Amino acid sequence: MNTSIEVEYWVIDTDGELTSPGELAEVSEQTEREFVEPLFELKTPPCETIGELRTTFVEQLDGVLSKAASVDKRLVPLGTPINSEEIDRHPGERGRIQKEVIGENFDYAKYCAGTHIHVEKRNVTDQLNALIALDAALALVNSSPYYQGERLANGARAYCYRKKSYEEYPKHGQLWHYVDNVGEWHRRLEDRYEEFKRAALEEGIDERAVEEHFSTDDVVWTPIRLRDEMPTVEWRSPDAALPSQLLRLTDELETVMEQLHHTNVEIESDSDPRNTGRVTDDGVTLPEFDVACDLAEGAIHDGLESTNVSRYLDRMGFSVDDYHPISTRIDGRQYVTNSDARDLRLEYASRLEEDVETLVQSMKV
């Protein structure tokens, strides 16, 4: 099954201050700038095996880190910059329209760095439903509890998107209900596009501008998306995190996705989050949608500290004890100063470099 990863990392200078990626965005065809100044993105091509994905991801990231060292820049694997000065969005008509429609809360997204995992489309209905049910797995790699110094939740990035940025447009930023077929998913996209278009027109935005910069494929943020051009099913909920964490998460997610094609997939009627959901040799059982939402909420607010979340993920095939989310390591303060945030960014830039070096050495064995 073809699988790929897109990950965003903050770029800092040697003092821990956020800075532009500069030449890092030009290292290869797989590197680019993101929509705000201090974010850098690395995209792997589709890889047929997890082993190939691991090699490709690590080699590309190692190359970027070598370039970064030569220009006194570093990469930071945190879901938010913890605390920082104002971050600017790159100028562009698409961003301007979104800000006009969504309002000031759209600015929360400027402080978020995440990971997108793509899996090859196969039996798409089961894939969509399984990814909805597995959204709580974001807890495995939560990497920042803080937004502009304030503690929000174990997963501050997911909280910002779902509770803040799209607060007024929940159907554009929340989990969608399970579907009976792919056509139902596409109809929802069409409805969301029309909803956004109406709101834009009410704000006085020219209809042609909306049609030029938005389509049914890209008008929503939603945690799960269908990408026709790749073609993949995309899970967008995880934070940026250490490469080894992301590779483990992708490996275990891909294992569940692969199993969907060889077994029965059912939605359980048991609404008790202590028992619902499991992946076994006999089949894949998904929890009721409301339970899946509750588990995702628990993953955002409490992470793996939620017993229901950790036990559920274990039943669904994830090796929960092997994950050590950054959020849990750096949590504990109600407020983090700019100075302390710089120190944390420097600390986790070092941890990312050490993590990549360990992965590089393991590939040589």
**CA atoms lying within 13 Å on the CB side of residue 24:** 34
At 5-32, the pLDDT tens digits run 999 999 999 999 999 999 999 998 899 8
- Parent domain of 46: 3-364
**Count of beta carbons in the 10 Å neighbourhood of residue 69:** 11
Residue 227: which CATH number? 3.30.590
What pLDDT, on a 0 to 100 scale, did the predictor assign at position 178?
97
What pLDDT, on a 0 to 100 scale, did the predictor assign at position 170?
87
Alpha helices in the chain (DSSP H): 50-70, 93-102, 124-133, 156-159, 170-173, 182-202, 207-213, 243-259, 289-301, 307-315, 326-330, 338-364
Domain count of the fold of the chain: 1
At 49-87, the pLDDT tens digits run 999 999 999 999 999 999 999 999 999 999 999 999 999
Contact 240, 8 (CB under 8 A): yes
**Which residues, other chains included, contact 20 with Cβ-Cβ below 8 Å and sequence gap of 6+?**
11, 37, 38
Going by C-alpha positions, the residue among 68, 37, 40, 42 that lies closest to residue 53 is 42
What pLDDT, on a 0 to 100 scale, did the predictor assign at position 288?
95
Distance CA 22, CA 40 (A): 9
**Which residues, other chains included, contact 229 with Cβ-Cβ below 8 Å and sequence gap of 6+?**
none
**CA atoms lying within 13 Å on the CB side of residue 245:** 26
Q: Give yes or no for residue 203 having a pLDDT over 80.
A: yes
Distance CA 110, CA 80 (A): 9
At 155-165, the pLDDT tens digits run 999 999 999 99
Distance CA 121, CA 102 (A): 31
The strand pair at 283-286 and 265-267 is best described as: parallel
What pLDDT, on a 0 to 100 scale, did the predictor assign at position 35?
85
Tokens for 98, please give them. Answer: 């979104």
Rg of the Cα atoms in the chain: 20
